[in-house]
Amino acid sequence: MKGFKFAGVHAGIKKKKNKDLGLIYAENPASSAALFTRNQVVAAPVILGRKTMEKGILQAVLVNSGNANCFTGEQGVDDARQCAGLVAKALDIDPDHVLVSSTGVIGAPLPMDKFEAGIPEAVACLDSCTLEDFAQAILTTDTCTKMMSLQGKIITSGDEKDFTVTGVAKGSGMIRPDMATMLAYVFTDAGISSDLLKQALTHAASRSFNRITVDGDTSTNDTLVCMASGAGQAVVGNDESFEAFQAVLDDVCYGLAKNIVKDGEGATKVASITVKGALSQQDAFKAAEAIAHSPLVKTAIYGQDPNWGRITAAAGRSGATVDQNKMDLYFDHVPLVQKGQWQGKESEIQAAKVMKQDEISIVLDLNLGEGRDQFLFCDFSENYVKINADYRS
């Protein structure tokens, strides 16, 4: 990626000898935007990060895994600020242009000696490390790294110029759409102002990270960052160029979000729920969200049981206006319910075949209006309980 360097090292923050400290470095100060968790219990790096992002400029991002630096009081904020200072000193940049992120166990103070030794090591390997090294360093219960890169074209000064958007994310559990769920970092070589970047990022998150759920829990550390180096020749300015940039950013964020759902703790299947025909978009959101969060729906998907009653019941309690006598429900193209009537045993047999797939599409048509929305979610298996029962051991 033009204008950026990456690093990932083992600093000893985690018990296991995995990489646990990642660094992003922009060769020049970059226009940047960020979204943070709406949880009222927030980690120290989020508290500090909100202030850091006020000017919309970043040159470095430090991310550690293994410790959330949450519920650590003023000391936690001071430690986060000290980490930013260590990065700034090692890179000879403005400390106000350094964002710090953390992920891991809540409550323990940061082992600052590990950061004091690990940050210079990360800086030293910026020329030899790759984005993959960074991606590995930010994982917690994830089973794989999550990266995506796409290219687009923008007309700049009468000529067509290429630009690239690349993203990396971590997330497997404690995933609920409420801003952006997890940690995600997106980079582009396009030139774009921080104001336009914030607008584009908010739009992208609303259609990706804000439309996924694994377990219905919103993290204390959720952070989504986008940095634009301007090192390429494409410049985002007019409406046409903004639309081109937005389309690529949307696709990268959606791809990262889907990969998080695929890697949900204990997940074996990915499902999409589309609610259409609602009285409003807000009603469609309510119904889709309730279905995607429902443990009963999620366990039925794991069991490959087309238990349509759980889906319609979740829509009914969602707060959306529904009429059970008008509902249509499909698993892929198999109709289970039409105008509120069960379509019989044969339809369930066909739907059960659909549920053997790794990815399942569910459509609920309320037949009341034009509102439409969609969520991505995964199933619940026994492994989700095992992973989270043993998380701190």
Q: CA neighbours within 13 Å on the CB side: how many for 144? A: 10
* Helices and strands, counts by H and E, the chain: 11, 15
Q: Tokens at residue 99, please?
A: 């964002």
Q: Which residues contact 271 (CB under 8 A, 6 or more apart)?
A: 292, 301, 359, 360, 361, 362, 376, 377, 378, 379
Known catalytic residues are: 181
For CA atoms 16, 223, 115, 92, give the dihedral sign: positive
Check if the beta carbon of residue 267 is closer than 8 Å to that of residue 359.
no
Check if the beta carbon of residue 67 is closer than 8 Å to that of residue 104.
yes
Q: In 1-33, which positions are buried (b, 16+ CB within 10 angstroms) versus exposed (e)?
A: bebbbbbbbbbbbbeeeebbbbbbbbeebbbbb
User: How far is CA 209 from each of CA 205, 214, 300, 350, 362, rounded to the nearest angstrom?
Assistant: 5, 11, 24, 32, 19
